Structure 1
Amino acid sequence: MTSLRSPLDVDDLLSEILLRLPPQPSSLPRASLVCKRWRRLASDPRFTRRFRLHHRRRNPPLLGLFTDSYDNSPFLPTLDPPNRVPEDRFRLHFDEGDDDFVTLGCHHGLALIHHVSRGQLLVWDPVNGDRHRVHIPPGFANINGAVLRGAAQDFQVVLVGRDDQVLACVYSSETGAWGNPISALLECSSMICRFTPGLVVGDSIYWSFTDSSAGILEFDLGRQSLVAIPLPEGVIGPRFMRAEDGGPGFIFKNDCTIKIWKRKTDSGGVASSWMLGRTIIELDKVLPMETLEEGRPLVPLGFAVENNVVVLGTVFGLYLLQIESLECKMIMESYYLQNYHPFESVYTGETCIGSGNEGAELLLGA
């Protein structure tokens, strides 16, 4: 009588089990230490690609933060050992003197970088190193933008800017071309806040703008529409985030609290105004009291959409605050006051599992 084989003895079934390991950087290096067969499966490039795709849109970890500009330390790891990614692992290398770059944002495991001197956008996958250069179309100044990627490797870049009017345009890597510009009905003096990263929620992207008052630009990728949304009176310089209902929201610091606003919808499901969300964080309960003393600045500097984490700058250091659990973590004491772009993706150390140095560095807590 033939005995039944254990699921762990069948490569296809074992691959399905390994696929469901947590998407932490140390997961596959740890699994590869079990035996040669596990190492062979965990280091197979087809499997590691599938592992990244499986987790990238479900539950990617917050690997670290990219800064606005590319100085000597553009990437700041945020995970603790053994999942901490080495700082030099995600670094762009350029020709000498070719350093006029500004980070516009990170979404879906891709970074969008404005190469100012060349009039180009650089779409970069820090995990596998892929780079794509896209020329900015004529008529766009004072720009901002966002990059989106679906389940496949194709991506889209949504660019907003102004010349005589506020415009949006979409680039598709599938066609290799820009679509037709789409305009918004705004005052001629409207300025897009190019140093405030956009928020991607579903098929919509949101950016700040200013004219006679502050507002938000919403670009709907499905409808190919660009509209302006006014902000509540008295709100200046909000930091975008995803609200608890999954829609767009923003955080606004007021004294010792961070107030979370969201869009209010009518009976037909149409968003019509803003309302204060149910969550108001009392910062004195989660941050050291000395950071909240009168006159000491506390500034939201970034937001990780998938992990619901806000980056807070204080005079005592840079903190990560998880909105739901209120868990707070200092990640560095000395920092520059700038935007910090959370990089949420799946990194497996695939080039070194079982043979190289990077997987060993992760397990040793480098």
Structure 2
Amino acid sequence: MSLPPPPEPCPGSPAALADDAMREIFLRVPADDPKSLVRAAAVCTTWQSILSDVVFTRQYRAFHGAPPMLGFLHNTLQMNRRYEEYVVSDFVSTASFRTPACHERQHWRALDSRHGLVLFHTPSKTKRDGDFAICDLLTYDQWRIKVNDECSDIFWHDRDNEGVLWNAAVLCGKDRCDHLYCHGGPFLVALVFCDKGQTTTFASVYSSETHKWSDMISVEEPNAIKKSGHITVVGDKVYFQCERSESIVEYNIGEQELSVIHLPIEDEDLPDVELMGVHDGMLLFGTIVWPRLYLRSMEAGPNGAKGWARHRVIELRPLLPPRALFLMSVVGFAEGVGAIFLSTQDGVYTIELSSGQSKSVHSKPIFGKVMPYMSFYTRAWGRLSTSE
């Protein structure tokens, strides 16, 4: 039999003052250290009551602002006993966060991570279509959706390497959401694809509220979508990297419009910049010319790019150990916390744009993109306190 909840202390009493003091202390526990609050909730029913209170959890998220990074996902190729390669998505924790239930699935390829959700492509070997799986790594909720009937041939041809390239994004579907805690809310899946042999790029969006895909829209654009390219979202606009890195595709979900933004070229000596994410409300692009990281920011308006808004060069030699200064590439960006992921010969490092500090987050290089998982852990404090 469970114990009854403790009686409410009288306002102004020593017990009430102590509870208020503990609330202030709990508010200041770093958001990327959720296990500390899980353990605190297991100390006594009073602390569990404080941490499980809806008002407190809202205050905690508002106090810390952007959701913390709990880890990141990436895809690796592995080989079975018949020497056949298959994709495995892997989750790497960067905080005191337990391993999620839906990682390391064979043939599950992580595509995108945003607003507390992860989008996987889970192709079927026996059907002429593919499935998507959307996972909430905190609640372990999963949703399976079929691709648009008009798109089913994309995945079939893609397996046969016939030149159809595509990418997809997941995002919160709630109107006017602050994205501090999107768990349990509606979501959208934006799909963009094209054929290298054609000059048209297509797009469609799935809504978890209607359980339907929208009508297909298109734009005349010969640049194929980069399948492993980074994706970023500004409001209801989703941006995809093209194969030719001087272009990106903008998918305006609200207006159901598809357009192409051609990036300005100012320095022929610099290699092509890659879309990384959003920082300070602007699209962020980056590239490495040893031993420097070059960053470009751009405001994407209705008339396309009007020029770079900001330039920044980061010297990497003072930030990384000597061994990490070789075979470097930009593989990801954690929005909100402003952390750039660099894959190096010495493993994966993050560099915080605000502080300039670097941190080793993985011991091995990663070939491909890194997808940070950003979320508050507040919903699980009370639930997990009994199992920690």
TM-score scaled to structure 2, two decimals? 0.75
Q: 3-state SS of the aligned residue for 2:306?
A: strand
User: Is residue 108 of structure 1 aligned with residue 108 of structure 2?
Assistant: no
| 1:29 lines up with 2:41 in the alignment | no
Partner of 2:344: 314
Distance 1:76 1:52 in 2: 28
Residue 198 of structure 1 aligns with which residue?
Answer: 231
**Any gaps of 5 or more consecutive residues in structure 2?**
1-9, 78-86, 155-164
Q: Does 1:90 align with 2:121?
A: no
Residues 181 and 156 (structure 1), Cα distance of their counterparts in 2 relative to 1, 3 Å cut: same
Q: CA deviation at 1:300?
A: 0.7
Quickly say closer, same or farther: Cα 1:352–1:265, change in 2 above 3 A. Answer: closer
Q: Deviations over 1:91-117 (max 9, x none)?
A: 3279xxx83221111000100111122
Cα distance change, pair 145–191 in 1 and its aligned pair in 2 (3 A) = same
Deviation (angstroms), 1:196: 1.4
Partner of residue 143, structure 1: 166
Contact 1:68 1:341 in 2 (8 A): no
Aligned-partner residue type, residue 91 of structure 1:
A
Superposition RMSD in Å: 3.5
Mapping 1:1-366, distance limit 5 Å:
4-6=11-13, 9=16, 20=27, 22=29, 23=31, 24-32=33-41, 35-43=44-52, 51=58, 54=61, 58-69=65-76, 74-79=90-95, 84-86=96-98, 89-92=99-102, 99-117=106-124, 119-140=130-151, 141=154, 142-149=165-172, 150=174, 151=177, 153-163=185-195, 165-187=200-222, 190-210=223-243, 214-233=246-265, 235-236=271-272, 238-243=274-279, 245-263=280-298, 272-275=305-308, 277-292=310-325, 296-348=326-378, 349-350=380-381, 353-357=384-388
Aligned partners of 1:169, 1:40: CA distance in 2, in Å?
A: 45
Cα distance, 1:221 vs structure 2: 2.4
Counterpart residue type for residue 195 of structure 1? S
Distance 1:250 1:61 in 2: 22
CA offsets, 1:74-99, max 9 Å, x none?
A: 111113xxxx223xx213279xxx83
* Distance (Å, rounded) in 1 between the aligned partners of 2:324 and 2:131: 40
Q: Which has the higher contact order (CA 8 A, sep 6+)?
A: 1
3-state DSSP of counterpart to 2:254: coil
Please tell me the residue identity of whatever aligns with 2:359. K
User: Partners in 2 of 1:326 and 1:72 — Cα distance?
Assistant: 32
Change (3 A) 1:138 1:309: same
Relative to the length of structure 1, the TM-score reads 0.79
Distance 2:88 2:140 in 1: 19
1:153-211 deviation digits (Å, cap 9, x = unpaired): 11111111125531111111111111111211212xx3111111311222221111136
CA–CA distance in structure 2, aligned partners of residues 280 and 205 of structure 1: 26
Q: Could you say if the C-alpha distance between residues 352 and 206 of structure 1 is closer, same or farther in structure 2, counting changes exceeding 3 Å?
A: same
Q: Check conservation: 2:291, 2:316, Cα contact below 8 A.
A: yes
